[in-house]
Each structure stands twice: as C-alpha cells, then as structure tokens.
Chain A
C-alpha cells in the first residue's frame, strides 16, 4: 500500500480540477481550488514520512529518536497560510463580480462583458 498516499494526492488534485472546470458558481470554484491545494498538503506530508518515526518535536522524547522530516512540515504551514490568503482574495473578487454583474456563474460573466 505504499502507493496509496500518492494515489489520494492525485485523486484530490484531479477532482478539484474537475470541479473548477465544470463549476457554475464562483464560490464553488474557490472551494474546488482549496481541494486542489489540499492535495499538496497530503503530498508534502507523505514525502516526509518515515515508517515508525515520531513527530519532529523533542519536548518529551530523547534527541536521538528517529523523527519524520521537519522541512516539509514547515512547507505545509506556508502552504496553508497561502491558501487562506488566496481564498480570502478570491472570495472578495467573487463578491465584487456578483455586485457588478449580478451573477456568480463564470460562464455568464463572459457573456455579460461581451
């Protein structure tokens, strides 16, 4: 089952992309983007995992204990912060799109602008 984490990461990425491509609502589209991004969290954490190793926190375990890779975990933190900011900005844009054009449907947005 060593391929399972990769398979789930690819599955999340593709379903998120599918949602973006078929989306009829900008808010739904932003959520789909967050699904795409969650595949990167899983991928990064799975890359750094070591069988039988502990979390890289040495508060109550001896310093020589094998621990998983801390660098990818720090990257996931960055990833999550960036996702939160991107979602906030995109949702604000969706609010403006709805106010200016009266619709949240991305297909109708193109038609309205002509």
Chain B
C-alpha cells in the first residue's frame, strides 16, 4: 500500500471517527458536573473505612487492589519481554562499552549536565522515598515514587558514566528488588487469605488517620510496588544502554 493511498483511506475514516466521537460525547455529562456515585461514595467513606487520606491510593492498593496486582505484573512481564528481545543473540557478542554509532564520535556529557545531574541525584532519592512512603497521606505511592527513584539512578548515567551506573545498580540486586516487589504484593494478598478473609483484604491494624503508619496493608503494598517499579525501570535502562553501547554483531 502506498503512503498516498493509505492517507486517502485514513482521512474519511478519521472524519467518521470524529463524528462518532462527537455524537457520543454530546451525550456525556456536561464537563464539570459528573457525579459518579461510586467515586463520591469513596470520597466520603475512604477516610473512616481505611484511615487513609489519599483516596486515589486507597483505590489502587485496596479497593481495586486486585486490578493493580495485574497491572504490576503487566510491568513485570513487559520488562522480561524487553530483556528477552534485547538479549545478546547467537550472532552477537558483548564488547567493552563504547559509543559505536556510525559516523559519530563518543561525546562526554557537558559540564552543566554533570553538575546539575550530580546535584539532583541525592535530592531525587530522598524525594522518591518521600513519595513512596507518603502515598497513603498525600498524592504519591509506589508507582510514582518508584519512577522518581529510577530517574535518580538514570542520572548516575547522565551525570557520571555508564560504568558508574553499572556499579551502583548491580544486576542481581536490581533483579531481586523487582522480583521481591512483584512477589511481595502477591504475598501480602495471601496473608489476608490465610487469616480467613478474602485475598488482598486489608487485615492489618489501620492506625491513626494522618500517620505514616496508617492504612494497614496499603503502605506495605506501596513499598512492594516501589521495589517492582524501581527495579523494572532500571532493568529497562540497562537493557537499552547495553544494546547501544556493548552488544555488537560478530561479523
């Protein structure tokens, strides 16, 4: 199919899609007036029921915890998929890391990237831990904080060097962090089951509203997710960087 023909097919289809969407949305609640019964129920009952002040976190790690377990395993499986796709193939070998893009000399990071990156690594680690541990109180949680923590480790590569990044993220440690996070979530759910209630039911003491140790299993699940997300994103970075810097064709 030529590009021109494809475009000629796309334009009427896009027009039809636009009309359908406009028709569908004309029946949607007016912007700003949505009164979802389930959402409003949660807004009123989450604090007394779960002693958690961030309703979104309570939904993700408790009311809808089963779905989030699946979501976490989507991340887990896709990291495995990327590692599998980018493994060193039979006709490839690993070399000493260097930039071998054709026609481009290896450049070092500029001084401003180094200074800013180095200055940001420490604060980002603290900020990531803060976001992870306070998800039950204020916006945040394991997914968001995990990505911040992984970014701090990416900065080690940007501001430092590839070797330093490899050094501070040992493959075994990162892999186990990811696995412990994903498995930990499933095990926390199992604990509810073993105590005679439903899988993933919040069975731990709920604590005081507003305290870091409130919400029963919610902060624990948040920690597990943070491990899985940080580990997963660092493994992704390592896979793509190794592909660019180390893996070479044998021929």
Q: List the A residue with the shortest CB-CB distance to B233.
A: A84
CB of B166 closer than 8 Å to a CB of A: no
Question: How many residue pairs, one in A and one in B, have C-beta atoms under 8 Å apart?
Answer: 143
Residues of B within 8 A of A77 (CB): 56, 60, 143
Residues of B within 8 A of A46 (CB): 31
Q: Is the interface of B mostly helix, strand, loop or mixed?
A: helix
Mark contacts of B26-64 with chain A using CB atoms, 8 A cut-off: 1 yes-contact digit, 0 otherwise.
Answer: 001111111110111011101110000111100110001
A57–B3 Cα gap in the complex (Å)? 49
CB of B149 closer than 8 Å to a CB of A: no
Q: Would A59 and B137 be within 8 Å (CB), given that A2-B31, A92-B81 are in contact?
A: yes
Report the minimum CB–CB distance from A75 to chain B (whole Å). Answer: 9
Out of B40, B48, B60, B86, name the residue touching A92 (CB < 8 Å). Answer: B86
Report the minimum CB–CB distance from A40 to chain B (whole Å). Answer: 12
Report the minimum CB–CB distance from A31 to chain B (whole Å). Answer: 15
Q: List the A residue with the shortest CB-CB distance to B68.
A: A78
CB of B14 closer than 8 Å to a CB of A: yes
Within 8 A of B (CB), among A45-60: 46-51, 55-59
Residues of B within 8 A of A3 (CB): 25, 31
Residues of B within 8 A of A71 (CB): 36, 38-39, 42, 59
Q: Is the interface of A mostly helix, strand, loop or mixed?
A: helix
Q: Is A70 a contact partner of B28 (Cβ separation < 8 A)? A: no
Report the minimum CB–CB distance from B98 to chain A (whole Å). Answer: 18
A11–B249 Cα gap in the complex (Å)? 43
CB of B240 closer than 8 Å to a CB of A: yes
Identify the stretch in B71-79, B107-115, B169-177, B196-204 within 8 Å (CB) of chain A at 4 or more residues: B71-79
Give the residue among A17, A48, A85 with the most B Cβ atoms within 10 A.
A85
Residues of A within 8 A of B168 (CB): none
A70–B44 Cα gap in the complex (Å)? 11
Q: Is A70 a contact partner of B79 (Cβ separation < 8 A)? A: no
Q: List the A residue with the shortest CB-CB distance to B21.
A: A10
A31–B50 Cα gap in the complex (Å)? 39
Residues of A within 8 A of B7 (CB): 21-22
Q: Would A81 and B75 be within 8 Å (CB), given that A88-B82, A96-B85 are in contact?
A: yes
Q: Is B34 a contact partner of A92 (Cβ separation < 8 A)? A: no
Within 8 A of B (CB), among A64-103: 64, 67-74, 77-78, 80-82, 84-86, 88-89, 91-93, 95-96, 99
CB of A63 closer than 8 Å to a CB of B: yes
Q: Is B81 a contact partner of A50 (Cβ separation < 8 A)? A: no
Q: Is B43 a contact partner of A56 (Cβ separation < 8 A)? A: yes
Report the minimum CB–CB distance from B215 to chain A (whole Å). Answer: 12
Q: Would A95 and B243 be within 8 Å (CB), given that A14-B17, A85-B78 are in contact?
A: yes
Which 3 pairs from chain A and chain B are nearest by CB?
Answer: A69-B39, A51-B32, A85-B78
B-binding residues in A (CB < 8 A): 2-6, 10, 13-14, 17-18, 21-22, 46-51, 55-59, 63-64, 67-74, 77-78, 80-82, 84-86, 88-89, 91-93, 95-96, 99, 107
Could you list 19 A-B pairs, sorted by A, with CB under 8 Å? Answer: A2-B32, A6-B31, A10-B25, A22-B3, A22-B6, A46-B31, A49-B31, A49-B34, A56-B42, A56-B43, A56-B56, A58-B53, A69-B36, A82-B74, A85-B78, A88-B78, A89-B82, A92-B240, A99-B249
